[in-house]
Amino acid sequence: MDAASVLQDLIRCRSVTPDEGGALKYLETKLTQLGFKSQTVTFSDDGTPDVSNLYARFGSGAPFLIFAGHTDVVPTGPEERWRFPPFSGEISDGVLYGRGAVDMKGGVAAFLAATADYLKENPQPRGSIGFLITGDEEGPAINGTVKLLKWAKDKSEHFDHCVLGEPSGEKAAGDRIKIGARGSFSATLTVTGKQGHVGYPEKANNPVPHLMRMLQAISTPLDQGNQWFPASNLEITDLFVGNEASNVIPRAAQAKFNVRFCDDWTLQSLEQELRTRLEKSAEGIAYELQIVKGNSEAFRTDAGDFLELVSKAVTTATGDVPKFHTAGGTSDARFIKKDCPVVEIGPAGTTLHQIDENITLADLERTKKIYLEILRAYFA
């Protein structure tokens, strides 16, 4: 199967989160033609849009290798700034353009094409191949993979290993294999003072200096990192006072922040450390720390036969020896790792979320070859 043609078809589906856009229906049709038993499942939750997800399985025995990914994409930004329309899937000079080309319809297309070629070679593999595809990875991630995993578990589905097709490559597919991710902790800090006239500061209590002092206290280094993870870092992502008058001392000031943390911390121990630092630096000012829903723990897939298999498959397909890493952002691996070992391996992610997002046909084909070798080795 030609991965480029599949990717063009997927890009032409306008599947901006949370809209399915026809992408999952397209995959379901292709997988059914290959002999998969497929099902589209829609999940709902209060305050969030309904999201469609796809589950498909070929075979009934073990071991069970699942491929996970998403077909939803981020908004395009100004479409007039694109070289080609963002949902056209145009190819020019060996480069395929379109929203989702690398994040991550490219990985989905490559795995589908690799699976089709593998099943031609081995119509009855020793085990099962599955697809776990969500439409909610770029969104709140509430009605997507986490619920699809529970849905599958309730049906007694058991996964042995997972390949997640996120764009983990640095310069080319497979030059790096992501074996874990830092945790993500988001919160909002609100400091409350006393409103007053700027000419009479003794009658007021400006919350802004207090907020800045407290942010400084929690921004100092949390750790030095370890063998697999860089040092944890806190980034202030928003500051808000909402004061429209220049001669009024505000009553309250607010900051949003995110911490990407190594596995020396848990969500609970990190929260406790931040609260301890805040309390020491508060100096009697009233404040509130609100924890954002959806924070995730750091994790790492341990060395073993599966990592060795994937690494050797990359070398067989490309001649290169991949590096293991844990850098970058979070993904649905943070949910899947609770069910089975998971690695992220996909095309180079140099243009994800950008204007003129694109993938070279060479890297797309390289991704397909890697996935094909993983399938061959896994079911050998």
188: nearest Cα among 141, 240, 266, 265: 240
Measure Cα distances from 104 to 237, 253, 308 in Å.
25, 38, 24
φ/ψ of 117, rounded to 5, equals -70, -40
The residue annotated as part of the active site, out of 20, 28, 136, 137, is 137
Angle at alpha carbon of residue 3, lines to 113 and 16, rounded to 5°: 105
Instruction: Decide the pairing of beta strands 252-261 and 233-240.
Output: antiparallel
72 is catalytic: yes
Task: Tell me 232's DSSP state.
Answer: P
What sign does the dihedral 311-317-323-324 (CA atoms) show? negative
Report the alpha-carbon distance of residue 155 to residue 172 in Å, rounded.
38
Cβ atoms < 10 Å from Cβ of 84: 15
Cβ atoms < 10 Å from Cβ of 209: 13
Position 362, amino acid: A
Report the alpha-carbon distance of residue 36 to residue 54 in Å, rounded.
12
Report the alpha-carbon distance of residue 178 to residue 164 in Å, rounded.
9
Catalytic residue numbers read 72, 137
